[in-house]
A and B are shown apart, each in its own frame.
Chain A
Amino acid sequence: MQLPKSLALSLYRTMVELREFELKAYEVFRSGKMPGFIHLYVGEEAVAAGVMAHLKKQDYVTSTHRGHGHALAKGIPAREVMAELMGVVGGCCGGRGGSMHLYEPAVGFLGTNGVVAPGIPIAAGAALSAKLRKSGQVAVCFFGDGAVNNGAFHEGINMAAAWDLPVVYVCENNMYATETPFAKATKNTNVASRAAAYNIPGVQIDGDDVMIVYEKAGEAIERARRGEGPTLIECLTYRFFGHHVGDPGTTYRSRDEIESWKARDPIVRLRRQALEEKLAGPNEFDEINEQVHAMIEDATTFALSSPQPAVETALNFVLT
């Protein structure tokens, strides 16, 4: 696919933001200042960037435990995401949710999630609501290879297909469910092929090539908007870190394997391709890097200076 310059730079900026954010979150977590657990999106940025570039503010997204990148790419400001990871009032959920419970209805973001697979029927439900309201909205559901062996995958996609719901299912297949290799968890490691079971289109793509993700996601989202139902997109990708910060990720993955996937780094690939095609000069990419770096520094300063919520609020919002 031929790269338009503005699109290339825009996708690059998104991917760098997601990368910089995670590397900073890693640093803060390792310093001991961040509570809880975090799962880094590093290495998988092309998926969120390529898909989300097609979505409107009011479109819906459901996400996973590895969801900071989805939240940022859908439009939650980095300040609010970093603050939420810190459990402070400046967070998008006032610090009540944390990394695995990021919500922002203003941009249609229906949650990262601490449980694997419930986002699949939840996204179908948001899509059903949109269909009944004739709002033109679509829903995109992100999930990992771990989710496809859970019953909610079958129940959710089956219903979405039966009812031609405007939803796109995006599997980020990083080949490991926590530490269990996908090949040990299933006889059929081709996620896209499972689409046939629901009589919907399924496509397996290089999830580290942002332009391919952009192209295939665009087709699926347009199909959903036309009312023709769901598509299953399997993006082959890899997480450069372990499952969570604290897991080195090397007890069940070889160093050779990790290095081979790092050589496919989606950010490096896009930059190299754009430079080869002389779409932009190195200075334009460097400028984006500097801008994003400053923005993430600002977000971190904001998050580290925001207070935790007052205990008097602990029982707020249990019931309306």
Chain B
Amino acid sequence: MAQTKIAEASANQAQPPERTISYVEAGVEALREEMQRDPTIFYIGQGIGPRGGNWQQTRGLCAEFGEERLRDTPISEVGQVGVGIGAAMAGSRPIVDIVFMDFMLETCGILIQQASTTYYVSNGKIKVPLLVRAAMGGVRSSGPHHSHTLYNFFVHIPGLEVVVPATPNDVKGLLKTAIRNDNPVLFLEHKGLYGTKGAVPAEEYLIPFGKAVVRRSGSDVTLVAVSLMVSRALEAAETLAKSGISVEVIDPRTVAPLDRGAILNSVAKTGRLAIVDEAYAACGFSAEVAALVAEEALDELDAPVRRICALPAPHAFSPSLDGHLRPTADKIVSAVSEMMKR
């Protein structure tokens, strides 16, 4: 099965990659393949046409598919998502690029009240195969209006699916799955990952939603992390290994749906759980994973659950403050080391 092969390839660092491309290039490749396959797909957003996107996330596609299908929009986030919803209801497969996830806040009403409810209240008569794409997370002190990782807000809402890929391989396979999905899907990449490279097969493959991947196997502590935090967790795991602490890193890849089984299986093995999240702790992904384990596997725990999350303050500009507020490998190492003392 191709899926297993990919999971092994991405987990096995020693394997020489067949082909290495970047996280952002993987997304462009997925879009190109899907737009060639399905003429009902079109893509709208700010600067995604001839410019190729603020992140180069649509580079070259306008030249190939034209401005009818790669359509630059005004700065009208509500309008963009509304147009996407209407087109999806009418049988197209729109992709709406909001560029910065922060600006998805403008779209919450129409996305939550219209996109997520229509299939349900229409009694299954109207599907909304809308894909909303945006980049999240802080890079280079991007300040309070350009740094958010607010995917948690949307995971709260039934009827939305939320994808947070950590590797180029996952970007390609999950983006293709997202485009073919008949539900509203949020595809949230991390700005700090766009330049990272990894093995990506040139041939077509799909990665199903709701299937976590074990990024590193271990026996003492389970670290659950998504998106950029996967690399922080792996970095911490490497450090902890030198102290004889064996860390298992689980990347759910999609937070809605969430692969609950993978988390529970890992905790059954390690007996300890920590969650690393660039988002805030309150009512977030970290709280959800902790609650899952409290409800389903409390007896497996040998230590209290720990959460290493963004500290509860707006995103600061100054690098010293910004760095302090975010989860770091050092913070993870410190938290896990304390857990092991119990």
Contact = CB atoms under 8 A, between A and B. Distances in A.
B144 interface: no
Interface string B105-127: 00001100110011111111111
A127 B90 CA distance: 8
Contact of A118 (B42, B92, B113, B121): B113
Contact of B73 (A104, A113, A159): A159
B126 A103 contact: yes
Contact of B110 (A118, A317, A318): A118
Given A124-B83, A133-B40, A159-B76, A118 B109 contact: yes
Contacts, number: 153
A62 B292 CA distance: 41
Interface stretch (A22-30, A89-97, A174-182, A201-209): A89-97
Contact of B94 (A104, A114, A125, A130): A125
Given A96-B123, A128-B83, A319-B159, A121 B91 contact: no
A156 interface: yes
A124 B159 CA distance: 23
Interface in B150-201: 158-159, 161, 181-183
Given A132-B69, A319-B183, A152 B110 contact: yes
A96 B159 CA distance: 15
Nearest to B41: A132
Interface string A102-125: 011100001101110010111111
Nearest to B123: A94
B78 to A, nearest CB: 5
A318 B120 contact: yes
A126 B117 CA distance: 17
B121 A162 contact: no
Contact of A60 (B78, B81, B90, B159): B90
B156 to A, nearest CB: 13
A249 B213 CA distance: 60
> Most B CB atoms within 10 A — which of A103, A123, A132?
A132
B121 A159 contact: no
A320 interface: yes
A105 B121 CA distance: 13
B86 interface: yes
A162 B74 contact: yes
Interface of B: 40, 42, 68-69, 71, 73-74, 76, 78-92, 94, 109-110, 113-114, 117-127, 158-159, 161, 181-183
Interface of A: 60, 62, 93-94, 96-97, 101, 103-105, 110-111, 113-115, 118, 120-130, 132-133, 137, 139, 151-152, 154-156, 158-159, 162-163, 316-320
Closest 4 pairs between A and B when the two form their complex, measured CB to CB: A125-B86, A121-B82, A155-B79, A122-B86
